[in-house]
């Protein structure tokens, strides 16, 4: 009796119980496939990172004594389609059973469910043993509730795992959330350490992708590829974050600067989303380090980090499985404009967008506020089709896997779900961008000007959006103040805003 076990590219969990014992009757299968490189145009660094991580993981399993069949993208045996490859290996290895871990993307999950239900072979499904919640925990948590609130889920998670708790009801520091302390503008008054990198030569991978004709976007320095793609490297990045970045993480987690690609962010998202690191080990490591260095690190720094992982990350996964597949086509605000070409080039006079997009193209990375309040904000204000926004975000970021990408973009960023994830749209004029960033000082436009050719385009776009979409928000209590200001605005001023906004939307290349 032989069993084939499938390992997907984002299932690189070294600690999974599958690998506790070496069994000669078990064959592990991994494959680089055009099916995965081609469903969206991905950043070259994203493709390289996944393939590099997959190859390292396969080598690790082989070194442990496991039997591994690995198809590189250019392997002549590779059918480039998941089910075709599975059927081929099942036949070649004369397997009697098939096993796989639950995929985290709906499309792959459905593909494997259909295969299992076809009765082609005896099939067993396993958990990935990575997340701190199951797919359905969030649905059970909010059963009977009309509105979903992440904060209540986050508090439950803190209690459940006894993280930063004094008693089973009282959080350390006397409050659950230190978000008000996590909104500081970085004024260049603290030293930001250089990010932890590894400078690996991935030239062979890059050349293979070119030879195979894989379409990608963005830049890469193939001789000095810096992202962590092994568990050992990922653990070093985690330690580096604790030792050098945690001290100011919370302070500046929402800050933005044109010359700082990462600020105090951890750069752990790829390692976590590929499952090289687990969320539980990450938060426990960070909390333990904080406890040992409380005289230097304030609780607000660590709580903000823990909230992102056990709160927001787990919450988004739960929302994904609650809402799919309808979520993938949600367009509550009925937005249909195309995404401007400068999202692929960074060629715009708006400095905040130019910096955020170039950072994304150069590094396959931008932190959550750049994604939400710069690129996402502009896309929503210009009423861009959320499907186009999805594809861009899914492709450009190294950590973008649909369960975490689509919930943040179609839900949080574009409000296409009508408020299931965010109670109000995250839109702003230029004033918020100026408050949280150093972008406006070097901009072609003046953030202080409301109208006129040299006024910040976000100002007119903001008021035009509220006016165009106000019928969608008439019953939204959190939008009441903004709509009240809109209705009090001088009609001539509003008309100037709307005329300019329409020109920006129709002629984005001019801006």
- Cα separation, 485 vs 310, whole angstroms: 37
Q: How far is CA 481 from CA 378, 487, 488, in A?
A: 21, 10, 11
Give residue 483's pLDDT.
94
Burial of 121 (0-12, 13-18, 19+ CB in 10 A): middle
Helix residue ranges, H only, 64-118? 82-92, 106-117
The whole-number pLDDT of residue 70 equals 98
Query: How high is the pLDDT of residue 180?
Result: 80
CB 397 within 8 A of CB 365: yes
Distance, CA of 449 to CA of 250 (rounded, Å): 31
Helix (H), strand (E), coil (C) string for 74-87: CCCCCCCCHHHHHH
Closest CA to 378 of 433, 439, 438, 442: 433
| pLDDT on residue 145 | 85
pLDDT at 206: 98
172 CB neighbour count, 10 Å cutoff = 17
Tens-digit pLDDT profile for residues 49-88: 999 999 999 999 999 999 999 999 999 999 999 999 999 9
As given in the structure block, the two tokens for residue 84 are 């075709």
C-alpha span between 358 and 376 (Å, rounded): 15
Helices (H), 121-171: 137-141, 150-160
* Cβ atoms of residues 376 and 413 within 8 Å: yes
Q: What are phi and psi of 146, to 5 degrees?
A: -85, -25
Q: What is the pTM of this model?
A: 0.95
State how far the Cα of 412 lies from the Cα of 446, in Å rounded to an integer.
Answer: 28
The CA R_g of the chain, rounded to the nearest whole Å, is 24
Q: Which residues of the chain are under the pLDDT cut of 70?
A: none
* pLDDT for 330: 96
Helix axes 457-469, 491-506, angle to 10 degrees: 100
Angstrom distance (rounded) from CA 346 to CA 509: 11
Q: How far apart are CA 240 and CA 234, in angstroms?
A: 10
What are the tens digits of pLDDT across the range 209-267?
999 999 999 999 999 999 999 999 999 999 999 999 999 999 999 999 999 999 999 99
Q: How far is CA 132 from CA 128, 177, 306, 309, 343, in A?
A: 11, 20, 13, 10, 35
């Amino acid at each position: 009796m032989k069993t084939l076990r499938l390992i997907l590219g984002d299932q690189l969990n070294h600690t999974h119980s599958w690998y506790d014992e070496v069994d000669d009757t078990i064959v592990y299968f991994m494959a680089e496939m055009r099916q995965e490189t081609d469903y969206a145009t991905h950043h070259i660094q994203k493709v390289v990172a996944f393939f590099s991580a997959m190859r390292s993981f396969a080598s690790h399993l082989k070194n442990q004594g496991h039997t591994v069949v690995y198809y590189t993208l250019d392997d002549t045996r590779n059918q480039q389609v998941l089910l075709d490859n599975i059927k081929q290996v099942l036949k070649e290895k004369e397997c009697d059973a098939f096993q796989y871990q639950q995929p985290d993307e709906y499309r792959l999950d459905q593909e494997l469910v259909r295969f299992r239900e076809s009765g082609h072979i005896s099939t067993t499904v396993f958990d990935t043993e990575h997340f701190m919640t199951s797919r359905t925990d969030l649905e059970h948590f909010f059963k009977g509730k009309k509105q979903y609130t992440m904060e209540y889920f986050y508090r439950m998670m803190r209690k459940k795992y006894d993280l930063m708790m004094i008693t089973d009801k009282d959080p350390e520091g006397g409050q659950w959330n230190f978000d008000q302390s996590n909104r500081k503008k970085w004024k260049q008054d603290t030293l930001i350490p250089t990010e932890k990198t590894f400078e690996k030569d991935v030239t062979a991978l890059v050349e293979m992708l070119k030879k195979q004709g894989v379409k990608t976007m963005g830049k890469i320095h193939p001789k000095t590829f810096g992202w962590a793609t092994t568990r050992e490297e990922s653990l070093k990045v985690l330690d580096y974050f604790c030792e050098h970045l945690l001290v100011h993480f919370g302070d500046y987690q929402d800050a933005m600067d044109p010359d700082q690609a990462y600020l105090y962010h951890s750069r752990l998202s790829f390692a976590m989303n590929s499952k090289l690191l687990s969320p539980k080990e990450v938060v426990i490591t960070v909390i333990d380090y904080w406890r040992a260095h409380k005289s230097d690190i304030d609780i607000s720094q660590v709580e903000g980090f823990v909230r992102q992982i056990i709160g927001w990350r787990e919450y988004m996964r739960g929302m994904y499985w609650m809402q799919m597949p309808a979520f993938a086509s949600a367009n509550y605000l009925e937005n249909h404009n195309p995404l401007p070409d400068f999202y692929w080039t960074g060629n715009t006079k708006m400095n905040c967008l130019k910096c955020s997009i170039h950072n994304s193209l150069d590094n396959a990375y931008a932190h959550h506020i750049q994604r939400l309040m710069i690129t996402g904000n502009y896309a929503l204000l210009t009423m861009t089709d959320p499907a186009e926004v999805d594809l861009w975000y899914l492709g450009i970021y190294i950590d973008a896997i649909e369960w975490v990408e689509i919930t943040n973009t179609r839900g949080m960023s574009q409000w296409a779900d009508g408020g299931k994830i965010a109670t109000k749209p995250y839109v702003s004029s230029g004033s918020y961008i100026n408050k949280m960033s150093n972008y406006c000082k070097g901009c072609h436009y003046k953030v202080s000007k409301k109208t006129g050719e040299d006024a910040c385009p976000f100002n007119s776009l903001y008021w035009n959006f509220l006016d165009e979409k106000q019928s969608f928000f008439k019953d939204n209590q959190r939008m009441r103040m903004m709509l009240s200001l809109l209705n009090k605005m001088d009609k001539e001023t509003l008309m100037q805003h709307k005329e300019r906004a329409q020109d920006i939307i129709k002629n984005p290349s001019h801006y």
